[in-house]
Chain A
Amino acid sequence: MTDFLLKTSHLSKTFGSLLATDRVNFEVREGETHAVIGPNGAGKTTFIKQISGELRPDAGTIHFAGEDITTLPAPRRSRKGLARSFQITSIYRDFSALDNVALAVQAHAGHSFRFWRPAREDLSLTRPARQVLEKVDLEKRADILAANLAHGEQRQLEIAMALATQPRLLLLDEPVAGMGTEESQRMIELLATLKGEKTMVLVEHDMDAVFTLADRISVLVYGRIIATGTPAQIRANPQVRAAYLGEDA
């Protein structure tokens, strides 16, 4: 039980007649980077949303750190150590980069019914926030409005926000999506520095990223996991080659 940081059992979700998640059993070991790959519309984002708490599954359970979190709302899951980045960049565009990260720190620093002291002068928020910005190489951009950051920087900022909550598990939904080669290379390097230090679930189409980073890979097709294994095993799996990797493999 304790080997697994995250475990879903028979997780199912339908949209009308569409089976978006089909009895998924999925396990993430403490410390591993577990990639989830699959064609467009396979149900990867839907699956991540159920883990993060944005979507309630129709059936099945989710255990995190030995605790049943199936019905826990998203903010509570975050406070238990689940953090995520979104497929479509989700940041506070009208706040500075530092504000973005400081808010994530603040969310995990007790309640925020504090009405008087200026939060931006609160070193207990800004200091850790700056440290995280440094980690993702954005410290020089701290005071820039998030909307004015380059696309790649915004994605780094999202990772920073996730890290600032000091998560036990990072859920990354296509962190390299829409990036140029140079940007995506930088992101892969960043994620490589986190590898081992953080447990990660990595949803990604970019095979470069997947095969560089993943310890294990699960393949999701039509809402079902058709294979799980090491990168070598997945590469060699004929079913996977047929269903997904095609000539890429």
Chain B
Amino acid sequence: MAFSPRTWILLALLLLLAAVPPVADYFGQPFYLDLLRRVMIFAIAAVSLNLILGYGGMVSFGHAAYLGIGAYAVGILAHYGINNGWLQWSLAIVASALVAAAIGSISARTSGIYFIMITLAFTQMLYYLGISLEEYGGDDGMQLKVRSQFSGLIDLNDASAFYYLVLAILAAFLYLSRRLVNSRFGLVLQAARSNEARTRAIGFSPYPYRLAAFIISGAMCGVAGALLVNHTAYLTPEFMNWTRSGELMFMVILGGIATTSGPLLGAAALLLLEDVLQGWSVLPKWLHEHWQLYLGVILVLVVLFARRGLASLLPGNEHHD
């Protein structure tokens, strides 16, 4: 199989990520493990969002909902002493898919600004629901006392084992979404984005395909939620805050919509920049204090100079192998 240059770069990036734990260990810098694990978890969420936003043209401004549902599925079961990861994560996936089915059945009939508003409104609803659930900590959230347990197969308390699990899931999801996008299903999805009237005229009803994509995307993001709560060992309704949804959207757009590597590049760029500006004590204090402003400026520059996202700076073009 002949890989495109972009695919090679993506593979190299993943290999690079795989090399981080031993290197970080050697230099005694476990912090980077934590940071990159977080990047990869958000990359997984961004991959799922890219499926509908990039390839489906559905601008979901509520994708953080599934981060929250995935996290709460794990957290609530753990709250009742059920620490079995298979069970927790299955619930995270199923619950996310069900909620996506409910939201999608309404939103996927609409487009443009209505789609944005509906997805946002539902996510706000879930956010307030999270706040009102006193049993699960209300707006303070709650701790995940024990991380998900996988019959002794993998120990999430082992930072590097957890890291590799996240990396494996990221790689799997990248591959999965790549297959999906180039399948018959993926082509209908993209066709409906490209030209809806034409799509209907040749005989496709876009709605069921869009809804299916919405559900798949939600379920995938539910996995990211389950990972995130294990990562932070804490969960709050803030997981579902609309600003979170905005961040996910931004990652996808920054990285390059409808590209394979875009979500990873976008998540990495946003979170690493944030971290560098926020935490690098070598920077002078004045730079330190207004880091959000500088982040904003840098992001504006990136968007201006790489209008089609970071992936567009890579050699070759987005093509189907």
A interface, CB within 8 angstroms of B: 52-54, 73-76, 78-79, 83-84, 86, 90-95, 99, 103-104, 106-108, 112-120, 122, 125, 161-162, 164-165
Q: Which of A73, A78, A115, A118 contacts B202 (CB 8 A)?
A: A78
Give the complex CA separation of A117 and B181 in angstroms. 10
Known: A93-B194, A118-B320. A112 touches B185 (CB 8 A): yes
Known: A73-B205, A114-B183. A92 touches B195 (CB 8 A): yes
Known: A118-B182, A119-B184, A119-B187. A107 touches B202 (CB 8 A): yes
Not counting A54-B201, A76-B205, A112-B185, a sample of 17 additional A-B residue pairs whose C-beta atoms are within 8 angstroms of each other reads A73-B205, A74-B201, A75-B205, A83-B201, A90-B198, A92-B195, A95-B194, A106-B187, A107-B203, A107-B204, A113-B212, A115-B183, A115-B185, A116-B183, A118-B182, A122-B184, A165-B202
Can you list 14 residue pairs at the A/B interface with Cβ under 8 Å? A52-B201, A79-B203, A86-B198, A103-B187, A103-B202, A106-B188, A107-B203, A112-B204, A113-B185, A113-B209, A114-B184, A116-B180, A117-B183, A120-B182
By secondary structure, the B interface counts as: helix
Give the complex CA separation of A75 and B190 in angstroms. 17
Docked-complex contact B179 and A119, CB < 8 angstroms? no
Cβ of B307 within 8 Å of any chain A Cβ, yes or no, is no
Cβ of B109 within 8 Å of any chain A Cβ, yes or no, is no
List, in ascending order, chain A residues with CB within 8 A of B209's CB.
112-113
Known: A79-B203, A90-B197. A99 touches B183 (CB 8 A): no
Name the CB-closest residue of B to A118.
B182
CB distance from A14 to the nearest CB of B (A): 22
The listed residue with most B CB atoms (<10 A of its CB), out of A78, A83, A93, is A78
List, in ascending order, chain A residues with CB within 8 A of B195's CB.
90-93
List, in ascending order, chain A residues with CB within 8 A of B212's CB.
113
Cβ of B219 within 8 Å of any chain A Cβ, yes or no, is no
Give the complex CA separation of A52 and B203 in angstroms. 11
List, in ascending order, chain A residues with CB within 8 A of B197's CB.
54, 86, 90
Cβ of B156 within 8 Å of any chain A Cβ, yes or no, is no
Give the complex CA separation of A98 and B185 in angstroms. 17
Docked-complex contact B204 and A75, CB < 8 angstroms? yes
Name the CB-closest residue of A to B194.
A92
Known: A117-B183, A118-B183. A92 touches B198 (CB 8 A): yes
Cβ of B200 within 8 Å of any chain A Cβ, yes or no, is yes
Give the complex CA separation of A173 and B212 in angstroms. 33
Known: A90-B198, A94-B194, A103-B191. A114 touches B205 (CB 8 A): no
List, in ascending order, chain B residues with CB within 8 A of A52's CB.
201
List, in ascending order, chain B residues with CB within 8 A of A119's CB.
182-184, 186-187
CB distance from B277 to the nearest CB of A (A): 36
Docked-complex contact B183 and A75, CB < 8 angstroms? no
CB distance from B213 to the nearest CB of A (A): 10
List, in ascending order, chain A residues with CB within 8 A of B204's CB.
75, 107, 112
Name the CB-closest residue of A to B208.
A113
Docked-complex contact A161 and B202, CB < 8 angstroms? yes
B170-226 contacts to A, CB under 8 A, are 179-180, 182-188, 190-191, 194-195, 197-205, 209, 212
Give the complex CA separation of A125 and B194 in angstroms. 20
B207-266 contacts to A, CB under 8 A, are 209, 212
Give the complex CA separation of A118 and B186 in angstroms. 9
Docked-complex contact A115 and B180, CB < 8 angstroms? yes
Name the CB-closest residue of B to A113.
B185
Q: Which of B188, B198, B320 contacts A112 (CB 8 A)?
A: B188
The 7 closest A-B pairs by CB, nearest first: A78-B203, A107-B203, A112-B184, A114-B184, A104-B202, A74-B200, A119-B184
Give the complex CA separation of A117 and B185 in angstroms. 10
List, in ascending order, chain B residues with CB within 8 A of A162's CB.
202
CB distance from A20 to the nearest CB of B (A): 18
Docked-complex contact A78 and B184, CB < 8 angstroms? no
CB distance from A186 to the nearest CB of B (A): 22
CB distance from B14 to the nearest CB of A (A): 21
CB distance from A103 to the nearest CB of B (A): 5
CB distance from B109 to the nearest CB of A (A): 13
Docked-complex contact B183 and A165, CB < 8 angstroms? no
